[in-house]
Structure formats: C-alpha cells, structure tokens
C-alpha cells in the first residue's frame, strides 16, 4: 500500500504582471492554482515546475517551501509546457507563440530568447551548456551558443507535417529522436511516429509508426523503449529496440504514458499512476495510483533525480517520494471548495462555495474547512449577516427541490425557511432580498424585514428577460437589468425607490449596445459593461452619475468575458475581464489592468475594508490582497546604506513620456511618532485637482533606498503630484510633468 502524506509548507509569493507586481496572493489551492505541465529536479533540493499563465514554481528545499511566479516578465495568455535545468541555477522554459526563456539565477530572473518562430513549443533536450534542442509544432530549434540564436533543423519526412511533438531527445549533437503526431501520414490510418536523425536534424527517418500515440525514451543511439497506443481502443504495447529502431519487440501492456529509463533494466512509466520496471519493461509494479484531484485534461509530468527521488505533477497537484515510491508526500493542497461567491464578515471569518458545498475559514483564508450540508447540492446563493447567521440557496436531494436554508451557528446546522432558489443579498442587518429565477426569463423578488425569519414575495417581474444583477443600495433604492419586450437586445436599467414593491425603467441601453453587467455603489453612481448588439465589435464600459438616466463611456481597456464587478464606493472598484482585473481609484477616470495570477474566470470579489479583500474563481481559486488590490509597482533597492530619515527624491526624467523613476528613502528606526517600525509605506499619484489617480506602492518595505517606475501611458498630459506616506501620514509631496 502506498501512503500519501500531507506536509506543512510555507508559501512565498512573488507574482508579476506587466512588469508590475499585483497585490493579490494565493490562498487556495496552494502553492497556486494554475495547471502545471512540466517539472525539472536538477538536484535533491532544487525543483522547478512550469505551467499555464506563464507560471513557474521554485523550491530550494525539496518542496517544503515554494516561490510562485505567475506571468513571468508580464507575459499574459501564454502557457509554459516544458522546463529543463542544466544545473541548480541555469534552465530553460518554452511554451506558446514561440516563447523561450532562460535563467542563470535559479529562476529569480528570466530573459526572453529570440526563437524566430511563433509556433507552439513543448519539449527541450539539453546536451550541454551550449547545445540545446527545442521541439514543437512542425519545428525543431537548435542552438550552439546557449540560446543566443536558434535555427530550425526539422524538415518534413515522407509528407509528415508535425502537428505536435510528444518528446524530443538528442543522444549527442548529431543523433536524436523525436515522437510526434503527423497531420498527414503516407497510407497509414494512424499518424503518430518516431523519427530519427543522424545529422543534427537535417534529415529524419521514421523508425517506429504509425500508431495512435507514442512516447519513446532512448538510453543511447542503440537501446530505446516506447509506450505505444494502437488505435482508439485500450490497445497498448510496450516496445523495445537494441539496434537503433531497425527492429522492435512489442509486448502487451496495460498502461500508456511518458517513460524514463535509468539503465537497460530500470525504468518508470507515468500515466494515470506511476509504474516501475526492473527487467527492461517485461513486467511493471505500481508505485503510485493515488487520486490526483479534479481532471484538467493534461498528462502528468515526472522527473527522476535518482531511483529513490521522484517528483510528479498533474493539473495543480505535486507529489514526491524519496524512497522509490514506498511513501509519497503531497506538496500541494486545496482545502476550500470555491469558485462561486466569497464573503468575509470580518478579517478572519469567511465562507465560499463551489456550487456543491460551502467552505469556512476562521483565519482570514489561510485554512479552510468544508461544511457539508446533508442532501444539499446546486448551491448558487450565499450571504452571511455576521459570524453566526447566514443563508444559502440550494437543492436538497437533487433538482428541482429548491430550498433556502438558514444557520445561526456559523454553518454547523441549517434549517429550511423557503422552498425556492435564488440570489440572496441584504442591504443591512434586517432587510434582505432573494431574486428567485422562476424560469429562464421570469423572476420573483422576495423580501424580509426581520433578518430572514419571515419572507414575502413582493414583486413578480413580467419582463421578457427577467431581472439580472439586482442590487439594493439601501432599504429603499435598488437597481436591476431588465427587458420589457421579446427583443433580446432591448434592455433597461430598472429602479425602485420604495424597497422593491414597484419598479420603473430608466433610459434604455446605450445606442448600439446592450447591458450585460451592472453595479451601483450608491444611489446615483453606477457602472455597466455593454456588448455590441449582434455581438459584432468590442464591448464598452459605461458610467452613470444620475441613477441610470444617462450613461458616459469610460476610457477603459476593451472588456471581454466580464464575470463580475465590485465597487467599494463610487470611486474605487474592480472589474474582472479574464485574464485581467481592471482597477480604478478615481471613479473611472483612469483604469489599470493587472493580472492577479490566474487565467480562471473570477466570479466574485469582496472587501471588508479599504485594503483587505478576496476574490474567488473557477478551479477552487481564492486569492487575497492586504493592500487594496490595485497594481503595485516593483520596487528596487538602490543602496546598501540605511537612511536616517524618510526622504522623497525628485523624479527623473522630468518632464517625461511615458515613464519616470521615483526614488525614496526608508529609515531603520523612525525618529518620531506616529511612524512605527514595519509600518505601511505608500506612494500615490494625484492629478492637478488633487484626485488620487494611481497607487504605486502600498506595502511593508525594508529600510533602505527604493526606486520605482511609473508608466503613465494611459494618462493624459499634464501636471501631476506624487506623495510618500508612512502609516497614512504624508511625508512629502513633489510635482512631475507628463508631456506627450
């Protein structure tokens, strides 16, 4: 029996986006939640893992702690598919759109190499410090100068255009093997093949094929092995050759996946489990068949440091053994079932749901406990009034047994209060509403005035579209998106001023567009994302300051896939548009786009104060911010000397276009109150009217001289001011001029 152990680990977060540091960090899953595709373990202690969202995980203590880097160097919408290290400091990673990146600093910094291709790259073979091969879609790149330049050494063989390469392996600079899938095969019903070159890739010959799928591994230019899938059924063969692929012996096998051999007898196969052979593949023993968690469609990735030390990853999961598979250690965890609504009632207590159950945290989201509710499923509504009293909307014992449940002991026990299902929201501790979706196009509004003890249906929506994004500002005023005709694209912002009993329409959607999302932080101010009628063109963001009577287009990045909006007040808000999180701190005058570290759709955002908030997304994603959730610019220490006082230096260049540098000093021991050692340091930008337009720094910083870059590309020309704050107290203010 193989035993899986969970080990305690420390997560060190370092997330970059657009050469800027986002202020969101992972809380679930841990160490992070992007799909992982490849792992490299060059030493017993050093582990490097690459995945989607330009993700790289780094551990220098055998997986006890991790450094998480998402969106390396500001790369967005790029997945990394192979990572390979020569030693503990130098490594390469490749991925979508011809991306090749190199590090010589153990993953701390990465440099993009010029590949001269935009094709998908997914395999790396390293011969030495200078000679490296990288394969992908109909391309095999070779460098002889450590990545400074690359040449494509692959040409079509017998009409085989490689749509995908499963593996690439060079034994020496001239002899190499690759396995891939051809988009066309000469007279064969299946299209996977193993090719061999003996002249550095100038010519290739097929030595095994054509099958449904092949994963080979060669010990040398003569001895090789392959896992072969024949046809579409469960027909798998294990192949071995001792004469460079001229002849192959095929034996029956039950598993199909990537393989690795240490010597002629000892090898491993990585499929739905991990299997080991000690007799050249004639028989296999299972050394791991555990559950990897939710499926994500990718194959597991494995690296073998030696016979005892093996690491494996699939989806977001990481496991490792140090005794040949007798025991396995889980280096990742996902405590919370999340993805839907997330709500915190204070800095410590919060709940989230993934639609099947709810999870609770009592330590600010660091750990979570799933609260299973007997018979409950289809959870699509959640609201807590305080740490004890809350409500959920769900199905009991299957659809369509709709129920609203209430708890008064933090979710330990629940009682049924209504036989409906819908979105739950409260405007204060007593008055709440449920937006019941009766059918696709019809909804009923329910109301309570006694904290949920009694409910009454107060409004039957007769529109064609049904209410959407209903929100009450206070006990009297509320807004919703609706449509009064069967013309799907004719929508209105509906408003109530009597607590939901009657509704009237404000102006219809902006000309040529229709409402899809709306959020009103107060009675007059609202924001909406609109799609073009007919869905031809780009979406637009609009704002109202008169309760929806008229709308003004906002200067914001085009917003595809808007999944949620959240505004703390009329000026500060967030809009999720995968993969971006749009942020404004000046009522939409300027919008900054950051990438919080995940490509998952963000479905809910909540804040308990100005600085502390959480977001929830698909794939059990929970991320947290403790400094407002805007974009934090990377700071760079410029001196080893510790200053004796705070100082804000003049920016340079000044005037500037579009970026400028700002330097400031932080002392070891402040000279006088109210500054406290280890307090929050903020660097903020204001316009000529004194309105805050950007937050560059809002975090605890080490004593020393720091420097940041402000890129004002999205700002208008003019005079601006920048102020340094310590623990909320202004230290100094200086003027800068943006001249475009």
Question: What DSSP line would sit under 722-737, residue for residue?
Answer: EEEEETTEEEEEEEEE
On whether residue 656 sits in a domain, the answer given is yes
For the record, the structure tokens of 186 come out as 């000469």
Q: Is 96 helix (H, G, I), strand (E, B) or coil?
A: helix
pLDDT of residue 662: 95
C-beta of residue 587 within 8 angstroms of C-beta of residue 692: no
Cα of 152 vs its chain's centroid, Å: 32
CA angle 675, 678, 682 (to 5 degrees): 70
Which strands make up the sheet holding 139-143, listed edge to edge? 121-126, 132-136, 139-143, 151-152
C-beta of residue 67 within 8 angstroms of C-beta of residue 57: yes
Those residues of the chain that have pLDDT short of 50 are 1, 7-21, 186-189, 486, 670-678
On whether residue 667 sits in a domain, the answer given is yes
On whether residue 97 sits in a domain, the answer given is no
On whether residue 699 sits in a domain, the answer given is yes
* Domain, as residue range, for 707: 635-738
For the record, the structure tokens of 460 come out as 């039957």
User: What CATH code is carried by the domain that includes residue 661?
Assistant: 2.60.40.1930
In DSSP notation, 28-57 reads: ESBS--SPEEEEE-SSSS-EEEEETTTEEE
On whether residue 486 sits in a domain, the answer given is no
pLDDT of residue 21: 46
For the record, the structure tokens of 666 come out as 């932080």
Q: Which pTM value belongs to this model?
A: 0.80
On whether residue 661 sits in a domain, the answer given is yes
Residue 394: which of 410, 406, 405 has the closest Cα?
Answer: 405
Q: From the CB of residue 455, how many other CB atoms can be counted at a distance below 10 Å?
A: 18
pLDDT of residue 604: 94
On whether residue 716 sits in a domain, the answer given is yes
**What span, in angstroms and rounded, lies between the C-alpha atoms of 673 and 261?**
65
How many structural domains comprise the chain? 1
Element (H, E) at 562: strand 562-567
**What span, in angstroms and rounded, lies between the C-alpha atoms of 497 and 482?**
16
Q: Is 11 helix (H, G, I), strand (E, B) or coil?
A: strand
**What span, in angstroms and rounded, lies between the C-alpha atoms of 548 and 505?**
9
Contacts of 297 (CB under 8 A, 6+ apart): none
**What span, in angstroms and rounded, lies between the C-alpha atoms of 200 and 301?**
27
pLDDT of residue 376: 75
**What span, in angstroms and rounded, lies between the C-alpha atoms of 564 and 529?**
10
On whether residue 714 sits in a domain, the answer given is yes
């Amino acid at each position: 029996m193989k035993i899986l152990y969970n080990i305690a680990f420390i997560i060190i977060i370092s997330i970059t986006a657009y050469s800027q540091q986002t202020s969101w960090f992972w809380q679930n899953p841990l160490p992070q939640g992007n799909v992982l595709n490849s792992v490299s373990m060059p030493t017993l202690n050093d582990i490097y893992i690459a995945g989607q969202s330009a993700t790289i995980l780094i551990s220098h203590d055998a997986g006890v702690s991790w450094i998480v880097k998402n969106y390396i160097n500001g790369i967005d919408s790029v997945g990394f598919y192979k990572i390979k290290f020569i030693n503990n400091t130098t490594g390469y990673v490749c991925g979508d759109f011809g991306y090749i990146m190199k590090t010589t600093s153990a993953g701390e910094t990465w440099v993009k190499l010029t590949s001269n291709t935009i094709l998908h790259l997914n395999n790396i073979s390293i011969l030495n410090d200078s000679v490296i091969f990288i394969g992908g879609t109909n391309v095999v790149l070779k460098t002889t100068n450590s990545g400074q330049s690359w040449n494509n050494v692959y040409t079509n063989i017998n009409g085989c255009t490689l749509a995908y390469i499963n593996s690439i392996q060079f034994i020496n600079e001239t002899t190499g093997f690759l396995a891939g899938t051809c988009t066309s095969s000469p007279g064969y019903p299946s299209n996977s093949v193993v090719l061999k070159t003996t002249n550095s890739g100038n010519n290739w010959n097929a030595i095994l094929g054509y099958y449904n799928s092949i994963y080979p591994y060669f010990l040398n230019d003569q001895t090789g092995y392959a896992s072969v899938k024949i046809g579409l059924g469960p027909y798998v063969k294990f192949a071995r050759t001792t004469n460079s692929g001229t002849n192959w012996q095929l034996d029956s096998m039950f598993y199909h996946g990537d393989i690795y051999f240490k010597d002629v007898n000892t090898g491993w196969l990585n499929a739905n489990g991990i299997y080991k052979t000690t007799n050249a593949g004639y028989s296999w023993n299972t050394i791991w068949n555990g559950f990897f968690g939710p499926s994500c469609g990718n194959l597991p990735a494995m690296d073998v440091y030696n016979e005892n030390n093996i690491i494996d990853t699939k989806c977001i999961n990481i496991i490792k053994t140090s005794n040949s598979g007798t025991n396995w250690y889980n280096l990742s965890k996902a405590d919370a079932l999340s993805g839907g609504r997330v709500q915190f009632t204070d800095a410590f207590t919060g709940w989230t749901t993934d639609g099947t159950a709810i999870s609770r945290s009592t330590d600010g989201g660091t750990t979570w406990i799933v609260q299973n509710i007997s018979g409950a499923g289809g959870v699509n509504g959640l609201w807590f009034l305080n740490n004890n009293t809350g409500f959920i909307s769900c199905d009991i014992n299957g659809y369509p047994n709709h129920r609203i449940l209430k708890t008064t002991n933090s979710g330990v026990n629940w009682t049924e209060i209504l036989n409906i299902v819908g979105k739950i929201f409260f405007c204060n501790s007593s008055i709440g509403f449920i937006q019941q979706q009766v059918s696709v196009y019809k909804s009923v509004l329910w109301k309570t005035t006694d904290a949920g003890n009694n409910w009454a249906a107060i409004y039957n929506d007769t529109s064609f579209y049904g209410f959407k994004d209903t929100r009450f500002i206070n006990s009297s005023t509320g807004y919703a998106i609706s449509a009064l005709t069967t013309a799907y694209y004719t929508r209105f912002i509906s408003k109530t001023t009597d607590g939901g009993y009657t509704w009237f329409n404000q102006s219809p959607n902006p000309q040529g567009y229709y409402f899809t999302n709306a959020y009103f932080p107060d009675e007059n101010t609202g924001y909406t994302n609109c799609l073009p009628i007919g869905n031809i063109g780009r979406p637009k963001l609009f704002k109202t300051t008169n309760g929806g009577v008229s709308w003004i287009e906002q200067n914001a990045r085009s917003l595809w896939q808007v999944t949620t909006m959240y505004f703390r007040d009329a000026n500060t808000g967030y809009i999720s548009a995968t993969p971006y999180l749009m942020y404004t701190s000046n009522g939409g005058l300027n919008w900054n786009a950051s990438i919080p570290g995940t490509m998952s759709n963000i479905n809910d955002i909540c804040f308990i104060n100005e600085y502390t908030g959480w977001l929830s997304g698909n794939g059990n994603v929970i991320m947290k911010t403790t400094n407002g959730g805007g974009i934090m610019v990377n700071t760079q220490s410029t001196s080893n000397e510790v200053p004796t006082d705070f100082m804000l230096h003049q920016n340079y260049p000044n005037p500037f276009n579009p970026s400028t540098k700002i330097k400031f000093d932080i002392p070891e021991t402040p000279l006088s109150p109210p500054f406290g050692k280890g307090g929050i340091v903020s660097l903020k930008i204001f316009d000529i009217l004194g309105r805050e337009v950007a937050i560059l720094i809002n975090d605890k910083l080490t004593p020393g001289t720091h420097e940041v870059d402000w890129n004002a590309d999205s700002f208008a020309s003019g005079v601006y001011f920048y102020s340094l704050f310590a623990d909320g107290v202004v230290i100094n203010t200086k003027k800068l001029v943006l001249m475009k």
